[in-house]
Amino acid sequence: MPLLQVRNIETYYGPIMAIKGVSLDVEEGDIVTILGANGAGKSTILKTISGVMDPEKGTIEFMDQRIDGMSPDKIVRMGITQVPEGREIFHDLTVKENLMMGAYLRKDRSETQEDLEIVHDYFPVLKARSSQLGGNMSGGEQQMLAIGRAIMATPKLLLLDEPSLGLAPFLVKEIFEIIKRVNDEQKTTILLVEQNALIALSLARIGYVLELGRIVKEDTCKELMENEDVKEFYLGVKEESIRGSKRWKRKKKWR
């Protein structure tokens, strides 16, 4: 039984169906990624899992327990924490207060303090700027703060929504290395949503390709990297035809 099991969920924004029957599994200890273009419904899947949006149909099971329709704070209590798209840090709280808000539901003071050390070890800049206001940090530092804040909740499943958004390439690399370390060292299962397909596929083990609210392909990331359609439409590898020019009218095979 996988840690997270999503079955045929359908989620609406008013009359618009954003998720059209998505199923996916996340095994314990794994890193799973969902690839897709703008508006494919990636973030909506994460919001549905974390309870911010409710699915009209379908089921979500986490540790053998139905969580669809639960209130978001109960879902956090069960061990699912989301790093939302666009950071969403608390601007007028200090860095330390931001991190401690991640541990809001925890009662174990000494372990919380140890986890604060761990987060400081992952992101030394957060220690150096402990008493600075979150809103005065740069974009990259805010992303680190958002991830650090989620680690403070010691989740079993960490949902990451576009952690590379708007960051310089070297920062993206740094952040993804830390995500990898969190998975290795804290044994945190990770579900990652990304537009940056190359880095997502090189980090994750299993990948799902999402187009217009449907999962069109599911495989190990190794296989996906070799897949012609993924290469051309997500990795931007241009393929030349026999005549030596780009084939503009090529159709994706999964359609």
Partner 1 sequence: MELFNEIIQTLLSGVSIGCIYGLVALGFVLIFKATEVINFAQGEMMVLGAFIALTLINVFGFSYWAALLLATVGLGIFGLILERLVLRSLIGEPVFAIVMLTIGLGYFVRSSVSMVPTWGTDTYGFTTPFTDKAARYGELVLSWEQLAIIFMTIALILILFAFFRYTRMGVAMRATSQNQLAAVYMGISVNRVFSLTWIISAAVGGFAGVLLSPITFVHMNMGFIGLKAFPAAVLGGFSSIPGAIVGGLIIGVTESLAGVYLPIGWKDVAAWIILIGVLIIRPQGLFGIQEKKKV
Distance of closest approach, residue 84 Cβ to partner 1, in angstroms: 6
Dihedral sign (CA 140, 121, 85, 17): positive
- Applying the rule CB under 8 A, the residues between 30 and 69 that interact with partner 1 are 50, 52
Q: Contact with partner 1 (CB under 8 A): which of 10, 27, 61, 97?
A: 97
The whole-angstrom distance between residue 20's C-alpha and the CA centroid of its chain comes to: 20
Distance of closest approach, residue 169 Cβ to partner 1, in angstroms: 17
- 113 binding partner 1? (CB under 8 A): no
For 151, the token pair is 């680690």
Q: Are 31 and 183 in contact (CB under 8 A)?
A: yes
Distance of closest approach, residue 176 Cβ to partner 1, in angstroms: 20
- 246 binding partner 1? (CB under 8 A): no
Residue 174 dihedral angles phi and psi, to the nearest 5°: -60, -45
Work out the angle between the directed axes of helices 95-102 and 139-151 (0-180°, nearest 10).
30
Distance of closest approach, residue 21 Cβ to partner 1, in angstroms: 26
Residue range at the interface with partner 1 (CB under 8 A); choices 17-25, 113-121, 131-139, 171-179 = 131-139
| Among candidate residues 37, 64, 63, 67, the one with its CA nearest the CA of residue 54 | 67
Distance of closest approach, residue 73 Cβ to partner 1, in angstroms: 5
Cα distance between residue 89 and residue 80, in whole Å: 18
Q: Contact with partner 1 (CB under 8 A): which of 28, 69, 105, 226?
A: 105
Q: What is the DSSP letter of 136?
A: G
Judged by the rule CB under 8 A, the positions of this chain that interact with partner 1 are: 50, 52, 71-73, 76-77, 81-82, 84, 86, 88-93, 97, 100-102, 104-105, 135, 138-139, 142, 149, 153, 166
